[in-house]
Structure 1
Amino acid sequence: MSTPTRPPGESGQPQLQVALSWLEHYTYCPRQCALIVLEDAFTDDTATTRGTLLHQRVDIPGNKGRGTVRTLHALPVWHDDLGLTGTCDTVELHDNGTVLPVEHKSGRYHPGGPADVQAAAQAICLQQMFQRPVPRAAVYSAADRRRHTVTIIPELHQRVLTTTRAVRELLTTRQLPPPPPDNRPCRRCSMAATCIPTVLTRTRHYHHALNNLYTLPDEEPTHP
């Protein structure tokens, strides 16, 4: 997958751009993010297909008004200083000046999870673009048909910055991280077959099997 760069900044060096969706993938699992970004190895399952179908309703660019709220769909956003870029599913512009990004997810919402980081990054981008505070975002969960408010507290803002740096480091080193030491997040991951975490976390067994694969058996002794 090609990685775009921004024009040289004050340092004179181009900055690798980080997609907002990569922040969510990295927060969920750095190895999953690397497989997607570095090896273009994304795999669909039932959950990701549900997400694709859900996003078909909000991924068509356009805007519409309802009462005092104007809703924008598939809005491109960016942050020049942080080198972030992406697309917001929905952005609401209220007549009182409120700007609210709404990220759509097919599964259940987990407070403090990867979706919060992605939604917060959208809010940070919109704040720079509209030149006004964007203190909140929302995550819409299709599983419970509810919006969940995400407040951009300083700790969450810092998570966005830290994760952005980590993803950019991944793009620079191009090193595939090891799978997580416990397999709980792997059970819900569509890329488990590509990642083979169960094999790789048992490092000693893996290397033993690999060595045996290329070891020739001892020659049988010859008898006179």
Structure 2
Amino acid sequence: MDEDEEPLPLSALQHYLFCPRQCALIHVERQWAENRFTAEGLLLHERVDQGGKSTRDGIRTVRSVPLRCRRLGLTGVADAVELHGKGKDRRPYPVEYKRGRPKAHRADEVQLCAQALCLEEMFGGEVPEGALFYGENRRRTVIRFDAELRALTERIAEAAHAMVRSEITPPPDYSPRKCSQCSLIDLCQPRRLSRPPKVANWLRCQLRD
């Protein structure tokens, strides 16, 4: 990342891994739209977005924690950060709240790992794991920040920065199942634009007119 470059929101990595075009529509073209899935996500985040602290079973939890990582050019807010252990052994443990259930792709894991990398830079210590809490099954999925996930997160951060820097929105890659869940489907128009009409056909139509 260049020194004069604006940091990316942590959510941009999740957007990029899910769909680079979605990431560009949001972070390059500054477009957004709500649907049922985003509304459910907002409801799930209501409690953690209020901030505050609490202690339960010896674990202190801080909500809506500002994060930043200068090395990767990232900034954002963690839904919750728990402090595990005692004294000098106490370490941050990020918890991200998601609607739905665990997914086949690793977009949520990358977003959580990016939070861990921010916390490591901010607190100067290793963050070995965190958790994703899914609203549909009301359970946590523990995520280990191993070398593979860390490398993937750094690659996605670099790729997202490069795309935003280029100010180029990638063409759509229509996937019925994935696109139907995206709140930007009407803005993106993936089904139509992924198979644009040939220039020759367009010219014939113009000549007929």
What TM-score results when the alignment is normalised by the length of structure 1? 0.85
2:136 is the alignment partner of 1:143 = yes
What percent of counterpart residues are identical?
36
Alignment-derived partner of residue 42 in structure 1 = 32
Match of 1:172 among 161, 165, 169: 165
**Alpha-carbon separation, structure 2, partners of 1:59 and 1:170:** 29
Q: Establish whether residue 15 from structure 1 lines up as the match of residue 5 from structure 2.
A: yes
Query: 1:216: how far off?
Result: 4.3
Superposition RMSD in Å: 2.0
C-alpha displacement at 1:179, in angstroms? Answer: 1.1
In 1, Cα distance between equivalents of 2:164 and 2:129: 29
User: Which has the bigger relative contact order, CA under 8 A and spacing at least 6?
Assistant: 2
Helix, strand or coil at the partner of 1:35: helix
Mapping for residues 1-224 of structure 1, pairs under 5 Å: 13-96=3-86, 97-110=90-103, 112-180=105-173, 182-203=175-196, 205=197, 207=199, 211=203, 215-217=206-208
Say if 1:47 and 1:34 are closer, same or farther in 2 by CA, change over 3 A. Answer: same
Q: Which runs of 5+ in 1 are unaligned?
A: 1-5, 219-224
Query: AA paired with 1:16?
Result: E
Write out per-residue CA displacement over residues 5-56 of structure 1, whole angstroms, 9 at most, x where no aligned residue: x9x7xxxx42331110110001100000111112222111111100011111
Deviation larger for 179-188 or 15-24 = 179-188
| Runs of 4+ with deviation above 3 angstroms | 181-184, 206-213
Find the aligned partners of 1:207 and 1:192 in 2 and give their Cα distance.
25
Per-residue CA distance 1:144-193 (angstroms, 9 max, x = gap) = 00000111111110111111111111111100101125443212111111
Code of the residue aligned with 1:200 in structure 2: it is L
SS at match of 1:188: coil
Q: Is the 1:138–1:148 contact (alpha carbons within 8 Å) kept by the matching residues of 2?
A: yes
Distance in 2 of aligned mates of 1:142 and 1:89: 14
Q: Give me the whole-angstrom Cα distance separating, in 2, the residues matched to 1:101 and 1:119.
A: 7
Distance 1:198 1:206, change over 3 A: farther
TM-score (norm 2): 0.91
Distance in 2 of aligned mates of 1:196 and 1:88: 32
CA–CA separation in structure 1 for the residues paired with 2:47 and 2:194: 39
**Separation of aligned partners in 1, 2:107 and 2:162:** 19
The 2-side partners of 1:31 and 1:95 are apart by 41
Which range is displaced more, 114-123 or 92-101? 92-101
CA positional deviation for 1:112: 4.8
What amino acid maps onto 2:133 in structure 1? Y
